[in-house]
Amino acid sequence: MGRKKKKQMKPWCWYCNRDFDDEKILIQHQKAKHFKCHICHKKLYTGPGLAIHCMQVHKETIDSVPNAIPGRTDIELEIYGMEGIPEKDMQERRRTLEQKSQDQKRKNQDDSDEDDDDDEPGPSAQTTVQPQASYAAPMAQPGMPVAGAPGLPHGGYQGMPPMMPGVPPMMHGIPPGMHGIPPGMIPMGGMMPPMMPGMPGIPPGMPPHMAPRPGMPHMTPATAGVIPNRPAAAAQPAVTKPLFPSAAQMGSGASSPADLQSASSQPSFPNMPQAQQGAPGIAASTAASSDPPKATFPAYTQPSVSASSSTSASNPSSSTVAKPPATVTSKPATLTTTSATSKLIHPDEDISLEEMRTQLPRYQRLVPRVGQAHASAAVATVGGMIPPQQGIPQQPGMRHPMHGQYGAPPQAMPGYMAGGMPPYGQGPMVPPYQGGPPLGMRPPVMSPAGRY
Amino acid sequence: MSLFGTNTGFGTGGTGVFGSTTTDSHNPMKDVEVSSPPDDSISCLAFSPPTLPGNFLIGGSWANDVRCWEVQDNGQTVPKAQQMHTGPVLDACWSDDGSKVFTASCDKTAKMWDLNSNQAMQIAQHDGPIKSIHWIKAPNYNCVMTGSWDKTLKFWDTRSSNPMMSLQMPERSYCADVVYPMAVVATAERGLIVYQLENQPSEFRRIDSPLKHQHRCVAIFKDKQNKPTGFALGSIEGRVAIHYINPPNPAKDNFTFKCHRSNGTNTTTPQDIYAVNAISFHPVHGTLATVGSDGRFSFWDKDARTKLKTSEQLDQPITACCFNNNGNIFAYASSYDWSKGHEYYNPQKKNYIFLRNAAEELKPRNKKW
């Protein structure tokens, strides 16, 4: 075997050349041995990740991967499990394994001759021996460090478990094609199912090796037939690529609109019942859209802000913080996160800060100023912008029409009414710019005006 | 306009101790204070283009005015002129030749201010406050682009009262940036649209937001060949997304990073997350600066994916920032941004604009990986 899918051979650690049964175990090994910070023992996910951590948190630089063999200490290579291993190293590995298995094969042939007798029925034992021996060879050839290959035919799982990753898929292909093969082979097939899981793509590698095997000519087509199934059936060991970014927006679960529901009942717009109705409308839609589904953490870890909506604590979102210090790269959620509750310093409503601010009467007052011929003339008055003292109740955010220019209707405006912006479809709104634009701009020409 | 001199100082606050470092939190970085700052929160800052000799800074504010200062090489700032709108000024920009300044306001108009004559005339009209304004200089046309809360993006030839073009957006425009031939607009409800400006402006692509929170600021960055290639988008949740338009490997090239948060490693208290108010890219190094509601600014190297510097905390949020044309000066404005609602608004509190030498601190870090 030894075609594509080389990655699917037994997982091995690039840093120290050790083998593992499972990529998960490999990754655990890497995290513990190679990506562990020597200062605080935090386990990172990759070499570069470790380097960054040490730099950011401890202000120390490291230039080599801990516990790595010489030549494999590059801290800049982003390797995670079996991903990221440079191609040439992969090939080297394959070659080394092949050589190893060549040696083993010879050993296998000797061993299997004797051991076969144990499981197989007597007469067939002889016949099975040969095929099995040659069969075992292909197994080893793809470079699978199947040390226990000789143990295969003897069934039982002697030596099997360690080989599991390598063996099953190969075996899997066998039964279907084995019709012609003496029953002695079947036991091997019988062992397969239990070993199935977790065998990624070895079968695809089989045919090429099978073909040359004189002992198993009939196997080839069968295996080939089986192979297509395997990849589909095989479940890739789930490797969550830690390398990626934007997905990392974890976090902050509860979006402000959710809080808006409660906020809207608060004194911010005490005289605007309609506004409140409008606001929740917006809140609902925004809540739907912006609430991340990822809530691994409870959306609300803090009580909703009471009192006024403008109090800072809103969005008690638990941020899944990958690395507490403000490192630049953010890694996806699957990382170990220190779930801290966090607080978004932003008012509850999901409108921009500027929109909120323009609702304040002092910023609205001057918009509809009629008769303001020259910009400079406005300086004195504008500059003075004193908090509205026109006897209008100073409710923050209250959109009480200042000069009656807005008429009553503004209340229906959802969420915001920025400085004189006409509420939708409100007829009585006086076009604010009538007097406004001092020079040369004919208001009637501005078609939007009509909407007012 | 008051002459400078009354309030300028180098870090001198009310402490009376010259050069005190601890109690003076309005300017903990000891940067140069711009004289005669506006009387209300500063919404935008922009330096003059390289076509104009010297450095001129304009700043729009919630006091309905836009002011212009000359920044001299010795660090002195001289107020030069001022114009008014009838509503808070939300954005301002320069024309490419440095002779005009375009200002956008909550009064739904945009004006063109001729600095030589000190006259301003209205050049644009929207149905809602205009949140962003940019000058576009294309080979075959010039125009002003205005983005408004009325959900439209309009393009204006300054000589006509009708827009050359009006594009409908899905939502209110919250921020925009233009680097010919690309324009990016981020809207409410996390909308994100990229426009291409060649020939005539047209919508190029709508992008699924890389951020999960309300968009607040956006800035386009360029590649080594000086062509716009992507943008940085900031949200209210202390996070910036670096997004390339056509990256070779989107999953690997695009990323987000957290910023403007408190309690870095302390996990016992809830972390305060602040909005990113503005992002600016250094014109030479390509590194970026972010300013936030937490009253800090930070410099970042997006290619090395590292933070270069974070400032001390000012006592007010930082609402705007910009670099001058050669990247030597970093200007940032300290004023209230409404992040804690109306209750924390103190009209009496002074607003500041600071200038900092940016030549050294924004050099890219050598890539470590």
CB contact under 8 A, B272 and A342: yes
Closest by Cα among A164, A122, A169 to A3: A169
Q: How far is CA A67 from the centre of its chain?
A: 29
What is the rounded distance in angstroms from the CA atom of residue A307 to the CA atom of residue A266? Answer: 7
pLDDT digits (tens, 9 = 90+) for B231-277: 999 999 999 999 999 999 888 899 999 999 987 666 677 788 999 99
Taking residue A364's Cβ as centre, other Cβ atoms within 10 Å add up to: 28
Which residue of B173, B189, B212, B259 to mutate against A (max A Cβ within 10 Å)? B212
Q: Pick the residue from chain B with its C-alpha nearest to A338.
A: B267
Average pLDDT, whole number, for chain B? 90
Which residue of A319, A346, A399, A417 to mutate against B (max B Cβ within 10 Å)? A346
Q: Pick the residue from chain B with its C-alpha nearest to A319.
A: B271
Which residue of B36, B101, B108, B126 to mutate against A (max A Cβ within 10 Å)? B108
Which amino acid would we find at residue A57? V
CB contact under 8 A, B255 and A330: yes
Could you tell me if A89 and A79 are in contact, meaning their C-beta atoms sit under 8 angstroms apart?
Answer: no
CB contact under 8 A, A448 and B90: no
Q: What value, to the nearest 5°, has the Cα angle with vertex A285 and ends A283 and A289?
A: 110
Closest by Cα among A174, A24, A357 to B340: A357
What is the rounded distance in angstroms from the CA atom of residue B355 to the CA atom of residue B56? Answer: 12
Give the minimum alpha-carbon distance from B74 to chain A in angstroms, rounded to a whole number: 30
What is the rounded distance in angstroms from the CA atom of residue B55 to the CA atom of residue B167? Answer: 34
Could you tell me if B153 and B171 are in contact, meaning their C-beta atoms sit under 8 angstroms apart?
Answer: no
pTM of the model: 0.53
List of chain A residues whose C-beta atoms are within 8 Å of the C-beta of residue B131:
354
Could you tell me if B290 and B260 are in contact, meaning their C-beta atoms sit under 8 angstroms apart?
Answer: yes
- Please report, for residues A308, B13, B75, B106, B332, the alpha-carbon distance to residue B278 in angstroms, rounded to integers and kept in the order given: 27, 26, 23, 19, 10
List of chain A residues whose C-beta atoms are within 8 Å of the C-beta of residue B211:
249
List of chain A residues whose C-beta atoms are within 8 Å of the C-beta of residue B149:
355, 418, 421
pLDDT score at A99: 85
* C-alpha count within 13 angstroms, C-beta hemisphere, residue B252: 6
> What are the tokens at A383?
């500059």
Give the minimum alpha-carbon distance from B47 to chain A in angstroms, rounded to a whole number: 23
Whether the predicted pLDDT of B179 surpasses 50: yes
What is the rounded distance in angstroms from the CA atom of residue B64 to the CA atom of residue B42? Answer: 10
Could you tell me if B85 and B129 are in contact, meaning their C-beta atoms sit under 8 angstroms apart?
Answer: no
Taking residue B192's Cβ as centre, other Cβ atoms within 10 Å add up to: 22
pLDDT score at A258: 38
Closest by Cα among B160, B83, B142, B146 to B114: B83
Of B64, B264, B270, the CB nearest to A341: B270
Whether the predicted pLDDT of B184 surpasses 90: yes
Of B108, B251, B341, the CB nearest to A311: B341
Closest by Cα among B341, B267, B310 to A342: B267
What is the rounded distance in angstroms from the CA atom of residue A185 to the CA atom of residue A219? Answer: 12
List of chain A residues whose C-beta atoms are within 8 Å of the C-beta of residue B44:
none
Which residues of B138-275 form beta strands (DSSP E)?
A: 142-148, 152-156, 165-168, 173-179, 182-187, 191-196, 202-206, 215-222, 228-235, 239-244, 255-258, 271-273
List of chain A residues whose C-beta atoms are within 8 Å of the C-beta of residue B84:
375-376, 378-379, 382-383
Which residue of B291, B342, B343, B345 to mutate against A (max A Cβ within 10 Å)? B342
What is the rounded distance in angstroms from the CA atom of residue B295 to the CA atom of residue B308? Answer: 17
Q: Is A74 helix (H, G, I), strand (E, B) or coil?
A: strand
CB contact under 8 A, A252 and B340: no
CB contact under 8 A, A366 and B255: no
> What are the tokens at B49?
């283009």
What is the rounded distance in angstroms from the CA atom of residue B185 to the CA atom of residue A140? Answer: 59
Of A324, A422, A439, the CB nearest to B127: A422
Of A328, A356, A437, the CB nearest to B257: A328
Closest by Cα among A262, A257, A271, A312 to A397: A271
pLDDT digits (tens, 9 = 90+) for B46-74: 999 999 999 999 999 999 999 999 999 99
Which residue of A328, A405, A452 to mutate against B (max B Cβ within 10 Å)? A328
Whether the predicted pLDDT of B354 surpasses 50: yes
Residues 6+ away with beta carbon under 8 Å from A436 = A367, A368, A369, A370, A372, B86, B107, B109
pLDDT digits (tens, 9 = 90+) for B75-119: 899 999 999 999 999 999 999 999 999 999 999 999 999 999 999
pLDDT score at B45: 97
- Write out the DSSP string of A402-443: SSSSS-SGGGGS-S---TTPPPTT-TT---GGGS---SS--G
CB contact under 8 A, B258 and A321: yes
For residue A199, is it left (φ>0), alpha (ψ between -120 and 50) or beta?
beta
B145 band by pLDDT with thresholds 50, 70 and 90: very high
Helices (H), A78-218: 87-115, 122-140, 160-163, 167-177, 186-195, 202-210
Residue B181, preceding bond cis, omega within 30 degrees?
yes
Per-residue pLDDT of chain A (452 residues; tens, 9 = 90+): 545 554 457 888 888 888 888 888 999 999 998 999 888 889 988 888 899 899 888 888 888 888 888 888 888 888 888 888 888 888 888 888 888 888 777 666 655 544 444 444 444 444 444 444 444 444 444 444 444 444 444 444 444 444 444 444 444 444 444 444 444 444 444 444 444 444 444 444 444 444 444 444 444 444 444 444 444 444 444 343 333 333 333 333 333 333 333 333 443 333 334 434 434 443 334 434 444 443 333 333 333 333 333 333 334 333 333 333 333 333 333 333 234 577 888 988 888 999 999 988 888 865 444 444 444 444 444 444 444 444 444 444 444 444 444 334 444 444 444 444 444 444 444 444 444 344 444 444 444 444 43
- Please report, for residues A80, A106, A184, the alpha-carbon distance to residue A111 in angstroms, rounded to integers and kept in the order given: 38, 9, 17
pLDDT score at A39: 87
Whether the predicted pLDDT of B312 surpasses 70: yes
pLDDT score at A169: 42
CB contact under 8 A, B111 and A375: yes
Residues 6+ away with beta carbon under 8 Å from A99 = none
Which residue of A246, A356, A405 to mutate against B (max B Cβ within 10 Å)? A246
Closest by Cα among B194, B215, B211 to B203: B194
Spell out a b/e string for B108-128, using b for 16 or more CB atoms within 10 Å of the CB, else e.
bbbbbbebeeeebebbbbbbb
**Which residues are bridge partners to A328 per DSSP?**
none
Between residues B361 and B17, the one the model is more confident about: B361
Which residues of B223-361 form beta strands (DSSP E)?
A: 228-235, 239-244, 255-258, 271-273, 276-281, 288-292, 297-301, 306-310, 318-323, 329-334, 352-357
What is the rounded distance in angstroms from the CA atom of residue A371 to the CA atom of residue B288? Answer: 44
Of B125, B189, B273, the CB nearest to A286: B189
Give the minimum alpha-carbon distance from A9 to chain B in angstroms, rounded to a whole number: 26
CB contact under 8 A, A421 and B84: no
Of B64, B85, B106, the CB nearest to A418: B106
Cβ-in-10-Å burial (0-12, 13-18, 19+) of B131 comes to: buried
B281 φ, ψ (degrees, to nearest 5):
-100, 140
Cβ pairs A/B, distance under 8 A: 280
CB contact under 8 A, A319 and B273: yes
List of chain B residues whose C-beta atoms are within 8 Å of the C-beta of residue A418:
106, 128-129, 149
Whether the predicted pLDDT of B174 surpasses 80: yes
CB contact under 8 A, A252 and B274: no
What is the rounded distance in angstroms from the CA atom of residue A158 to the CA atom of residue A338? Answer: 43
